[in-house]
Amino acid sequence: MAGQEQQKPQSHDSQVEDEIPEAPPAAPEAQASAATQGVDDLLDEIDGVLESNAEEFVRAFVQKGGQ
Amino acid sequence: MTAAPERAGGGGLPAGGAMRVMGAETEYGIHAPSAPGANATMMSSRVVQAYAQVTRQRAAGGAETRWDYTDEEPLHDARGWTLERASAHPSQLTDQPPVLDAEAVALAYGREELELDGEDESGSLLMNMVLGNGARLYVDHAHPEYSSAEVTNPRDAVIWDAAGDLVALAAVRRLAADPELPPVNLYKNNTDNKSVSYGSHENYLMPRSVPFGDIVRGLTPFFVTRQIICGAGRVGLGQDSSTPGYQISQRADFFEAEVGLETTIRRPIINTRDEPHATADKYRRLHVIIGDANLSQSSNYLKFGTTAMVLSLIEAGLAPKVEVHEPVAALQTVSHDTSLTAKLRLLDGRRVTALDLQWIYHEAAAKLAQDTGVADAVDGDGHTHQVLERWAATLTQLDSDRNAAATSVEWLAKLSLLEGYRNRDNLAWGDARLGLVDLQWADIRPEKGLYYRFLARNRMQRIVDDGAIAAAMTEPPSDTRAFFRGRCISSFGKDVVGASWDSVIFDVPGYGRLQRVPTREPLRGTKALTGGLFARHRAAGPFLAELLGHNTAPPAA
């Protein structure tokens, strides 16, 4: 396992637990127009967010049965 | 919350449209990257435990309580019989007590794994909580599960389901801050892409008088096709993803039967589990297991809203007269056809697309809603009009403007990201990076979850505001019995020894024995009926005295 997660396993401080995702609601029309723009920009951002070792990370995600 | 006109008898909500008592259940995928062999039931229990710690900080006296199993009947079949316990699969025995002991772990994993795991934690970890927002947070098999409070409309279904994601997030944060334990990730998805699926179920209250056969006939063609508006998208085809590709639904490949009682094996399109969690001779609780877990608010909204409307059609005897040839195969055909052009054969010989079938249902639902008046933009029930409009707009966009549809339809939004990667980096569908995008789409942490990255960029529509979701972490819905349950927990948590969908149990000094307050009518126990009672009392004793003292049938029951 070499994902970004393990490189700093205990670095989260306790403040983060109060963090709630927030962003101002946008009008639906504004939302729709934003979607068609900036695909490259989006992929650059997502590159930085993705776990670092894709193959290893996906392989290790094994679930036990559920409903 | 709408001021719904009360109706005599029946459900009390306006009939014919999208209003109905309903609720969501989400089983989260669970993964500790730094402890890949960790026991999933143990980890799930830690999630529940972590949230108990969070709520203990929030409410003096502790806001967690035991689940009361008295009325759980997982082996009751809606078709009119009860499965013998001995012939049930162990995973069907969901009415067993909540303590995670060595026996329970062994049942789930076998003795070998228990001994290999070796941790001395098998005493009595917390497996179950009832929350102040009316929900249940617990360990279901090997996953943490959040079952939302009962709500009356699809908008509230979205709010209280999304509140569950914040509950799960709070638990994840808590565990991440604990230096003793490995951090745990939770994913709002339905498969590990290695043959295992876990559910996100919907529950809808229906009058018991509706014949179950009508429900099966009316719902099946709808369920085969509704995934085009509420599928969450999945990389890989087949239960084990052995065929590279992309499909509309997370769940479709795991369904193997048309009708049945099971939820973990031989999964059926129509599930017959018959635990009403309410007055059994009046109601059935339709347990829907075919849906994908949705992060997209619009997909989630339409999933609940359109299904509620189709149930209204069935109750009125007005469901479209269509029957799909071989529905299980058709379900998978629809899921595997992202072009939405595949034709399904109907028993009357017609060949129609999934979009065609959805329009047939939309037309019938719109007509019923118009005839009953609930769809009126001004004088209607306040929900049905919006559901019909959004349903139609989404179907139109799916047909003619996919970029627009990708701002609301979850499988298309995910596909747009995957196509971006495929185009930029020339990736084949079998590439692990696309599998990671699929998985990480559903990470519930806003900084890691790709859905949340889309939301932050306004690439996906919000239909409820963030403040309403945050408030629903602690506030119960005001217009169902969940209000009574949630307020009992948040006001008198230390005196509540158990709770379930249809009861709250108090242990109060001065009373010789436990006081069980039944809540078998889902539309009683509302803020309107019991808000004053909670406002008048700070202590459980006087509260119970007033509740139970006035007459033999307490206001909440």
| Cα B178 from Cα B51, distance rounded (Å) | 13
B3-51 tens-digit pLDDT: 333 343 335 899 999 999 999 999 999 999 999 889 999 999 999 999 9
**CA of B500, closest CA in chain A: separation in Å?**
20
Contacts of A22 in chain B (CB under 8 A): 466
CB contact (8 A) between residue A67 and residue B452: no
Pairing of strands B200-207, B283-288: antiparallel
Closest CA to B444 of B338, B314, B293: B293
Question: A44 vs chain B: nearest CA distance in angstroms?
Answer: 10
Considering CB atoms only, which of A9, A32, A43 is closest to B420? A43
CB B424 within 8 A of CB A40: yes
Across the interface, whether the CB atoms of A46 and B109 are under 8 A apart is answered no
- A62 to chain B: which residues are within 8 Å by CB? 36, 192, 194, 196
Residue B317 sits in the same domain as residue B217: yes
Question: pLDDT tens digits, residue range B348-399?
Answer: 999 999 999 999 999 999 999 999 999 999 999 999 999 999 999 999 999 9
Residue B31 touches partner A, C-beta closer than 8 Å = yes
Decide if B557 is inside a domain.
no
Q: Is residue B286 part of a domain?
A: yes
The answer to whether residues B397 and B527 belong to one domain is no
Cβ A57–B143 below 8 Å, yes or no?
A: no
- Which chain A residues are closer than 8 Å to B439 by Cβ? 57-58, 61
**Interchain CB distance below 8 Å, B420 and A12:** no
- pLDDT at position B451 over 60: yes
- Residue A67 is nearest to which of B177, B263, B456, comparing CB atoms? B263
- Residue B2 inside a domain? The answer is no
Say whether both B123 and B252 belong to one domain.
yes
Three-state secondary-structure class, residue B271: strand
Query: Residue B147: which H helix or E strand, with range?
Result: strand B143-147
Whether residue B544 sits in one domain with residue B405 = no
ipTM of the complex: 0.86
Separation of alpha carbons B488 and B518, rounded Å: 13
In angstroms, rounded to a whole number, what is the distance separating the alpha carbons of residues B307 and B287?
Answer: 12
User: Cα B229 to chain center, whole Å?
Assistant: 17
Chain B residues with beta carbon closer than 8 angstroms to that of A63: 29-30, 40, 142-143, 191-192, 194, 196, 198
Pair type for strands B255-260 and B267-271: parallel
B379 and B523 both lie in a single domain: no
Q: Residue range B454-477: average pLDDT?
A: 97
**CB burial string B38-47: b at 16+ within 10 A, e below:** bbbbbbbbbb
Give the end of a domain, one of B417, B435, B469. Answer: B469
Nearest of B146, B138, B6 to residue B65 by alpha carbon? B138
DSSP B110: -
pLDDT at B55: 87
Q: Cβ–Cβ contacts within 10 Å for residue B8, how many? A: 5
Same domain, B258 and B386: yes
Chain B residues 49-88 with CB within 8 Å of chain A:
54
* Chain A contact set for B201 (CB, 8 A): 67
**Would you call B509 an interface residue with chain A, using a CB distance cutoff of 8 Å?**
no
Q: How far apart are CA B14 and CA B20, in angstroms?
A: 8
Q: Of B443, B469, B495, which one is at a domain's C-terminal end?
A: B469
Q: How many structural domains are present in chain B?
A: 2
Q: Are residues B131 and B155 in the same domain?
A: yes
B189 and B278 in a common domain: yes
CA-based nearest residue to B487, from B445, B547, B435:
B547
CB contact (8 A) between residue B174 and residue A10: no
Query: Quick one: pLDDT band at residue A8, thresholds 50, 70, 90?
Result: very low
Record: contact B407-A62, CB cut-off 8 A:
no
Distance CA A66, CA B141 (A): 6
Position B265 in a domain: yes
Q: Taking CB atoms and an 8 Å limit, are B453 and A45 in contact across chains? A: yes
- The residue of chain A with its CA nearest to that of B197 is A66
Query: Among partner residues A5, A22, A57, which is closest to B436 by beta-carbon distance?
Result: A57
- Residue where a domain terminates, one of B436, B469, B502: B469
- Give the residue numbers spanning the domain of B370: 22-469
Residue B56's pLDDT is 78
Task: Compute the distance between CA of residue B106 and CA of residue B296 in angstroms, rounded to an integer.
Answer: 37
- Give tens-digit pLDDT for A18-30: 444 455 555 554 5
- Catalytically active residues of B, by annotation: 140
Q: Say if B269 falls within a structural domain.
A: yes
**Which among B185, B197, B293 is positioned nearest to B240, based on CA atoms?**
B197
Read off the pLDDT of residues B276-303 as tens digits, 9 standing for 90 and up: 888 888 999 999 999 999 999 999 999 9
Residues B462 and B494 grouped into a single domain: no
| Same structural domain, B463 and B500 | no
All residues of chain A having their beta carbon less than 8 Å from the beta carbon of residue B141 are: 64-67
* Percent of chain B clearing pLDDT 70 (strictly above): 84
Q: Domain limits of chain A?
A: 29-66
Nearest to B295 by CA among B466, B468, B161, B139: B161
Quick: pLDDT tens for A30-47.
544 454 457 889 999 999
Do B140 and B240 share a domain, yes or no?
yes
CB contact under 8 A, B264 and A50: no
Residues B119 and B195 occupy one common structural domain: yes
Q: Which of B84-93, B512-521, B535-544 has the lowest mean pLDDT?
A: B84-93
Which of B197 and B67 is assigned the larger pLDDT? Answer: B197
Contacts of A59 (CB under 8 A, 6+ apart): B432
Q: Which long-range contacts (CB under 8 A, 24 or more apart) does A5-10 make?
A: A5/A51, A5/B33, A5/B34, A5/B183, A5/B185, A6/B33, A6/B34, A9/B34, A9/B182, A9/B183, A10/B179
Mean pLDDT of chain B: 88
B555 part of a folded domain: no
With CA atoms as reference, the chain B residue closest to A37 would be B459
CA atoms within a 13 Å half-sphere pointing along the CA-CB vector of B98:
25
CATH code of B69's domain: 3.30.590
The arithmetic mean of pLDDT across residues B200-216, rounded, is 96
Q: Distance (Å, rounded) from C-alpha B230 to C-alpha B306?
A: 10
CB B206 within 8 A of CB B283: yes
